[in-house]
Amino acid sequence: MAAVRATLILALVAPGLTACASPPAPTPTPIPTPTPQDRLNRGAQAMLDMQSAKFTLIREGEPATLDPSLGLTFSEASGAYQAPDRVEATIKVGLFGNVIEIRMLWLPEGEFMTNPLTQTFLPTPPELSFDVAALFSPQGFPQVLRDGIQHSEFVASEGLEGVEVEHLRGEADGATLAPLTAGALTPGILYPVDVWIESTTGNVLRVHITEPNDNGWLIELFEIDVPVEISTP
């Protein structure tokens, strides 16, 4: 009799236990892997959002010609960006067989450069095709990242000076890259472009443009969002 009673109690209680049991956990929705273009778009947006940065731009191989009439050539630049539209750079140039430094400014008030002899600021000659400010303008390199890099691919996750980065590679037309390269690239020809984007922030930290004959351009950004102030001369 006791066994029958226990069976009856279990039969009555079991449905209630089943009803009170927790439902099975939902299957998590898998997060899609970003495409190479998704990663480039993220880098472009990070560049548009940054408030300031310092940068270097190094010409690899033969110096690039800035002003053929003067024989003015470019080898490297270092400078700073202040959002939304102020850029300064100290540039090493070749002039009459000598390497000298000049300063250039790209400001809302105009573009200026120092006279190599007097170091006083003068308006930049219009024939000078070098435009570092294009690195930061919405129509400049951020736009190149969005729609100017063709055949993009994800190379690997890498370490860059202690920071985890995503290495991407593609090609861009010489006309698209011309403002950053003093017109050294030929329109209609695709040049290899490598981009390194910080994994956690999306900040673009390094860009490399490869040309034939061991020539190229190396751009690096650092101290991003560390305040800077660029004054009008």
pLDDT digits (tens, 9 = 90+) for 173-194: 999 988 778 778 899 999 999 9
Instruction: Give the C-alpha separation, 145 to 136, whole Å.
Output: 12
At 105, phi and psi to the nearest 5? -130, 135
Q: Higher confidence at residue 115 or residue 12?
A: 115
Domain 34-222 CATH assignment equals 2.50.20.20: yes
**Residue 9 confidence (pLDDT) above 60:** no
Listed by start position, the domains of the chain span 34-222
* DSSP-derived 3-state class of residue 152: strand
Which tokens belong to 170? 């593609």
pLDDT in the model for residue 17: 47
pLDDT score of 150 more than 80: yes
| Nearest residue to 158 via CA among 208, 210, 211, 195 | 195
Single-letter amino acid code for the residue at 229: E
d(CA 200, CA 52): 18
Give me the phi and psi of 42, to 5 degrees please: -65, -40
CA distances from 104 to 58, 79, 128 (A): 16, 9, 11
Q: Give the integer Cα–Cα distance in Å for 104 and 196.
A: 27
Q: Report the pLDDT value the prediction gives residue 144, as an integer from 0 to 100.
A: 93
Give the pLDDT confidence of 91-130 residue by residue, as tens digits. 998 888 888 899 999 999 999 999 878 889 999 888 776 7
pTM: 0.83
Tokens at 153, concatenated: 């691919």
Percentage, residues of the chain above pLDDT 90: 60
